[in-house]
Each structure stands twice: as C-alpha cells, then as structure tokens.
Amino acid sequence: MPAAWDTYLVSLLVKLAAMASIASVLARSGAFKALLLRENRDLRQRLSLALWLSVVFGASVATRVVSRTYQGADLGLEGSLLAGVLGGYVTGLTSGIVISLPAVFAHERLTMPLLAGIGVFGGLLRDCAPDPEDVWRFSPFFDLNIYRFFKESRKYRRTAFHLVLFASILFAEFLRRGLSGVFPDQVFSLGGNPREWPLPHWLAQLALYAATLFAVAIPLKIWNSTRYEKKLEEQERLLAEARLAALTSQINPHFLFNTLNSVSSLIRTNPDGARVMVGKLSRVLRRLLRKHENFSPLRDEIGFIEDYLAIEMVRFGDKLRFEKDVAEDTLDMLVPSMILQPLVENSIKHGLSGKVEGGTIRVRARRAGARLQLWVEDDGVGIPESRLATLLEHGIGVGNVNERLRVLFGGDYRMWIDSRPGQGACVRIESPELHTDLPAVGSKP
C-alpha cells in the first residue's frame, strides 16, 4: 500500500476519532446535556448552544491551521452543519462564523461564508423535519434509510427527511470540494488536489464522503444516547413524584380513618368482607411503597385501580360505580407505572365528589397496531372551559402524567382531555408500545 494512501487513510480515521472524542467530552457536561434536552429554545439558549459547539469545533480548525499536519482534525464543516440541524438558523449561522475564524486568520477567506451558509442550511433542514426528534433517529447507512422508506409507509415523511439529510451531508462535502478545487488557497478540503490522491479518484472520493457522513452521524448517536439517559432519569423523578402524590393522597389520616372505620363496621356485619377490604388496602399500600417498578403490564395497573376503587366504593357506597372495557390483547402491554391512578383519582375528587347522585368511572383500553389507546371517563360535573385549556400544563395529577409521557415518548404520543360541564370528562392517551427489553429507569447494567 503506498505511503501516501496510508497518510490519507490515517487522516480520515483521525477525523472520525476526533469527532467521537469531542462528542463524548461534550456529553459529560451537565449544561450541554440540558441544552440537548430542549427542543424549543429561546434566543439565549440558542446562542449558548452555538457557543459550546463553536469553541470545540473552532478548536479543531485551529489545530489543523496551527499544526499544518493533522488535516483530519478539521471538523469545521461537520460542526457548522450539526449546529444548524440541532439549534436552527441562529445557532448554525453563529457557529459557522465563529468556527471559521481560525481559517480566516490563516487567509482562507472563503471559509467563513461557506461554514455560515452550511450552518443556515442545517437550520433549514431542521425546519423540514416532521418532528425535531427525527433528527436524532438519522442513520448514515443508505440501505437502512431506503428500507425504512418502503417498510415504514405510515412514517414516510420521517424516512424521506432522513434521505434528504443523508443527501445534504454529501452535498455539503461536494460544495467544499468544488470550492477548494476552484479556490485552493481560500477553502480547506481534506486530501488537497484530487490529482495527487494515491488511489483511483472514485475510491478516494467514496472514502472521503463516507468519513464526512459518519462524522455527522457519530455525535448524533452519542448525544442521543445521552439524551435518552437523561430522559430516563427525568422519568424516575416524575415517577417518584407520582408515587409521593398518590401516597400523600391515600395515606393520610382522613383516608385511613374512613377506610378503617368501614372495615370496623364490616367486622360486625360482614367479617369476610372486612378481610377482603384489609387485603385490598394492604395491596394498595404495598404498591404505593414500591420503588423498583417503573413499567408494569397493563393488567397490574388495572388490578391496582380495582383495589383502589373497591376501597373508595365502600366509603362512597352506591354513589360510586366502576366499569372497565379492556381488550384482552392489551393486558400484557407495558405502561408507565402509576399512569392511571392519578387520572382515576381526579375523576373522583373533581368529577364525582361534587355530584349529589355520584356517578360512574370507566376505564377502557384498545390496541391499534403497535399503539395503545387508553380512556379514563366519568359522568361527573365536568371541567370548566377556562381550566380545560391549561389543565395539561398546570393540573397536578394530569400534568404529571402528561410530563412523564412526554419524557418517555417525546412527540410520539397524544393526550386529550374532553369535557362538557355537567356531563363528565374523558382523558384519552395514545402511545407507542413499550417492549420488554426497555431498560428500567435507574437500573444498573
């Protein structure tokens, strides 16, 4: 193998290794991870993200300019494109300008308009994404993108976006190569003059474009893994809050007094019923005190709701009724733990307790392909229209459920609240199926 080819191959490998190192180092910063978790950022946060990316990728350009040896260390184009794709126009433009400064000081004057334009182009790509989360699902493997395009017919916009992003990365490298060929002293491109390449032109080109493609994909994969870990930590926090709220609501003197008073009355008139009630109370308390279950089969959640409502029915008598319509094929589907209890409790507390004649709570579940649909309905007093619009953001129980679903599924879920005053309320959730191989929050490998 010619020595020149060795140098060229090493430069490409250095490029990939440098990108992986930069992505890993940034992923260790709490401030940077907090920016990654935000999909909607204000101007200050966009500039903060631009600053993070500009410093590290600008340093990579400076390393190449100062050393004049480590050409593979220059990640200016990839960094500018990533800044735009992750943060939008402002982040991409700002990063492209700052990243190019070391090259501009070395009299490579076309570098600034090139990287600034690439950064803005990255922001345009972000706007084309059906969902901001789709950026993180990008794959550098062309055959996989083609397979997804035809396989995931229901998500053709996502797969089409991935193909466009794939082509855009190659176009950015093509643009740099073209400018460096016309203005060799004004724009840097790895490999220099193609006529001096040690391999056939097409093979050297293939290696260069593949390196650029993976240099963009590697940080996306590393940072997406970091985001996923942070989301699981957030899910653990929200789950703890849900348990604490449920525990505070249930294990309070009023609840225990009424429950134990009901049990005391049953001991005289219905000893078997009293034993059953004590058993249901123990199961409710045991479930609330567990801390290791983050996901559970729907059948366990339904069983918990039945025990919880059985106690409430003793307290409320005939005023409270419970109906369930749960499809058999949904019972083994995993759901976030304690996802139904806050909704059922809201129905009792805000929907039925203020209704003289009481009412009925209904829980329904259906499978729609690979998605789970859940309904919690009541025929109580309903929710005032003034509260309905902000309930998902400001409702304590409902807000917690919505936030947990958002952390777990990103934008791939829906939650509706419908209500008509005097006729009741309905909370509907539609989410993708959780699989048994999903790691438990807080679990150790």
pLDDT of the chain along its 445 residues, tens only?
444 556 777 888 889 999 999 999 998 888 888 888 777 788 899 999 999 999 999 999 999 898 877 788 899 999 999 999 999 999 999 999 999 999 999 999 999 999 999 999 999 999 888 887 888 888 777 666 566 555 655 567 777 888 889 999 999 999 998 898 888 889 988 765 555 555 556 677 788 889 999 999 999 999 988 888 887 777 777 776 666 565 445 445 555 666 677 778 778 777 887 888 888 888 777 776 665 566 889 998 998 888 888 877 877 778 888 999 999 999 999 998 878 888 888 888 888 877 778 889 999 999 998 899 999 999 988 887 777 777 776 656 787 788 778 777 877 889 988 888 888 899 999 998 875 444 443 333 3
Residue 361 belongs to domain spanning: 290-432
Phi first, then psi: give them for residue 171, nearest 5 degrees. Answer: -65, -40
Whether residue 149 is contained in a domain is answered as yes
Residues 195 and 61 in one domain: yes
Q: Which of 230, 247, 280 is the last residue of a domain?
A: 230
Contact residues for 89 (Cβ-Cβ < 8 A; gap 6+): 119, 120, 123, 124
Mark which of 230, 250, 273 sits at the end of a domain. Answer: 230
Query: Residue 375 belongs to a domain with what CATH number?
Result: 3.30.565.10
Strands 359-368 and 320-326: parallel
What is the total count of domains within the chain?
2
Question: In sequence order, which residues have a C-beta less than 8 Å from that of residue 197 and are 6 or more positions away?
Answer: 4, 8, 191, 204
Structural domain includes residue 242: no
CA end-to-end span of the chain: 43
Amino acid making up residue 153? S
- Assess if residue 238 is contained within a domain: no
Q: Is residue 279 part of a domain?
A: no
Q: Please check whether residues 109 and 18 belong to one and the same domain.
A: yes
Residues 215 and 305 in one domain: no
Written as one string, the DSSP assignment of 227-284 is HHHHHHHHHHHHHHHHHHHHHHHHSSHHHHHHHHHHHHHHHHH-HHHHHHHHHHHHHH
Is 266 a domain residue?
Answer: no
> Is residue 196 domain-shared with residue 126, that is, in the same domain?
yes
Of the candidates 230, 252, 272, which is a domain's last residue? 230
**pLDDT, tens digit (0-9, with 9 covering 90-100), for 169-204:** 999 999 998 898 888 889 988 765 555 555 556 677
Q: Are residues 202 and 340 in the same domain?
A: no
Looking at the domain assignment, is residue 37 inside a domain? Answer: yes
Residue 443 forms part of a structural domain: no
Residue-wise pLDDT for 66-83, tens only, equals: 887 778 889 999 999 999
Which residues contact residue 344 at a Cβ distance below 8 angstroms, ignoring those fewer than 6 apart? 305, 308, 309, 361, 363, 376
Q: Which amino acid is at 245?
A: A
Residue 42 · residue 48 · CB < 8 Å:
no
User: Do 83 and 204 lie in a common domain?
Assistant: yes
Quick one: which H or E segment has residue 414? strand 414-420
| 34 and 144 co-located in one domain | yes
Q: Are residues 46 and 161 in the same domain?
A: yes
Q: Are residues 48 and 135 both part of a single domain?
A: yes
**Same-domain status, 23 and 143:** yes
Q: Compute the mean pLDDT over every residue in the chain, rounded to the nearest whole number.
A: 81
> H/E element holding 377?
strand 371-378
pTM reported for the whole predicted model: 0.58
Q: Are residues 213 and 294 in the same domain?
A: no
* Same domain flag for 310 and 413: yes
Q: Do 113 and 121 form a contact (C-beta atoms < 8 A)?
A: no
Is residue 259 assigned to a domain? no
**Of all residues in the chain, what percent carry a pLDDT higher than 90?**
31
